[in-house]
Chain A
Amino acid sequence: EDKVVQSPLSLVVHEGDTVTLNCSYEVTNFRSLLWYKQEKKAPTFLFMLTSSGIEKKSGRLSSILDKKELFSILNITATQTGDSAIYLCAAIPNSGSRLTFGEGTQLTVNP
């Protein structure tokens, strides 16, 4: 059975801190790993990672995939209160578009 595990499950930091969120996966016929941010209800897309070792970057957020060790990290630098959210990672196989999600990391950024 496909499995995605995130850590930590929750994290509380102060504005300006840098955080690293972890995601490991065991997925048959793995194709890509996706990161989402969920603030209220609908998860919103952040990154898709398919190739190992290539960093994706968007502003203060960056992410990288290690297909040998089967994990990904999401980094957020100079955190702001608006970064407070649940961060979800999801794996997608070669066949179909079914997403297998991890439990999520609840990030709280205090002023």
Chain B
Amino acid sequence: ETGVTQSPTHLIKTRGQQVTLRCSSQSGHNTVSWYQQALGQGPQFIFQYYREEENGRGNFPPRFSGLQFPNYSSELNVNALELDDSALYLCASSLVGLASHEQFFGPGTRLTVL
């Protein structure tokens, strides 16, 4: 197991609601990336946070937003939930300067939108 934790483990919401997912990075890591993995698909990059600022974003609408805190933990917020937002949300922590494979994934949050 990596030192990356995510909460909650599972979540059920209805269309139009808002959700906040949380990620605690591995000790010493200063970068957090968020991915969305729909059923039967590979993870898709949402965005990355470094030093509390967004540092790259994938093809996701503005209703997907995030934060990184001084302790490097991070939140993913999704507004106006849609059925297609149902997926496993993964965060990965890393340390800028390390080799690119040094990204450690958390166990994910399974979001179901009804």
Which of B13-21, B39-47, B64-72, B78-86 forms contacts with chain A? B39-47
Decide if A42 touches B100 in the complex (CB within 8 Å). no
Chain A residues whose C-beta falls within 8 Å of the C-beta of B4 in the assembled complex: 42
Give, as a whole number of angstroms, the nearest-CB distance from A21 to chain B.
13
Chain A interface helix/strand/loop/mixed: strand
Chain A, 33-54, CB within 8 A of any chain B CB:
34, 40-45, 48
Q: Most chain-A CB neighbours within 10 Å: which of B4, B42, B56?
A: B42
Chain A residues whose C-beta falls within 8 Å of the C-beta of B77 in the assembled complex: none
In angstroms, Cα B90 to Cα A40, docked, is 12
| Partner pick for A96 among B35, B55, B99, CB 8 A cutoff | B55
Decide if B43 touches A101 in the complex (CB within 8 Å). yes
Assess whether B94 is interfacial by the CB under 8 Å rule: yes
Q: Which bucket holds chain A's interface residue count?
A: 20 to 34
In angstroms, Cα B2 to Cα A97, docked, is 18
Decide if A48 touches B99 in the complex (CB within 8 Å). yes
In angstroms, Cα B40 to Cα A103, docked, is 7
Assess whether A62 is interfacial by the CB under 8 Å rule: no
Decide if B107 touches A96 in the complex (CB within 8 Å). no
Residue of B nearest to A96 (CB): B56
Chain B residues whose C-beta falls within 8 Å of the C-beta of A44 in the assembled complex: 105
Residue of B nearest to A95 (CB): B56
Residues of B within 8 A of A (CB): 2, 4, 31, 33, 35, 40-45, 48, 55-56, 58, 88, 90, 92, 94, 96, 99-101, 103-108, 110
25 contacts between A and B (CB under 8 A): A4-B42, A6-B42, A32-B100, A41-B90, A41-B107, A41-B108, A41-B110, A42-B90, A42-B105, A42-B107, A43-B43, A44-B105, A45-B101, A92-B100, A96-B55, A96-B56, A97-B33, A97-B103, A98-B33, A98-B48, A98-B58, A99-B35, A99-B43, A103-B41, A103-B42
Given contacts A98-B58, A101-B35, 11 further A-B contacts (CB under 8 A): A34-B101, A41-B88, A41-B108, A90-B42, A96-B48, A96-B56, A98-B48, A98-B56, A99-B45, A101-B43, A103-B42
